[in-house]
Amino acid sequence: MAEWIKICEIGSLKNGDLVDFDYEDKKILIAKAEDELYATDRICTHAYADLSMGFMNESEKTVTCPLHMSSFKLADGIPQNLPAEQPLRKYNLKVQDNWVYILIDDLKSI
Ligand code: FES
């Protein structure tokens, strides 16, 4: 059965935010771009870089790695340029009663 974990209040997230969220050993990136919320893996698929330290292009809805500058689509985690070739895993989010939740079954199935 799906289990949702509370992350933060929706009002604490601004457009352009890249927020880190840890659950057990999973490092998750929460992003808000043009009023949409996204959740992906936070560690770049090329090497070890934390994407919450990267750069968001809000209109393109991408996050760019701070180390070698690969950009990933927030919606599906697909890299847009080398050197990263593998996609980031994406996670399901929902907003309920002004709180943002992430689907825990997604995290356990990694
Ligand atoms: S570590 Fe992210 S592109 Fe190299």
Domain harbouring 44, CATH code: 2.102.10.10
Identify the domain containing residue 76 by its residue range: 17-92
Residue 48 lies in a domain: yes
Cβ-based neighbour number of residue 66 at 10 Å: 14
- Ligand 1 centroid to 98 CA: how many Å? 34
Determine the pLDDT at residue 110: 47
Ligand 1 pocket check for 89: Cβ under 6 Å: no
40-78 confidence digits (pLDDT tens): 999 999 999 999 999 999 999 999 999 999 999 999 999
The answer to whether residue 24 scores a pLDDT higher than 90 is no
Q: Is-cis flag, bond preceding 79, omega within 30?
A: no
Residue of the CA atom closest to atom 1 of ligand 1: 47
pTM over 0.85: yes
- In total, how many domains does the chain have? 1
Q: For residues 85 and 32, is the Cβ–Cβ distance under 8 A? A: no
Residue of the CA atom closest to atom 4 of ligand 1: 68
Residues 43, 64: Cα–Cα separation, whole Å = 11
Confidence band, pLDDT 50/70/90 cuts, at residue 104:
confident
Cβ-based neighbour number of residue 40 at 10 Å: 22
Lowest mean pLDDT among 12-16, 22-26, 54-58, 95-99: 22-26
Residue 100 lies in a domain: no
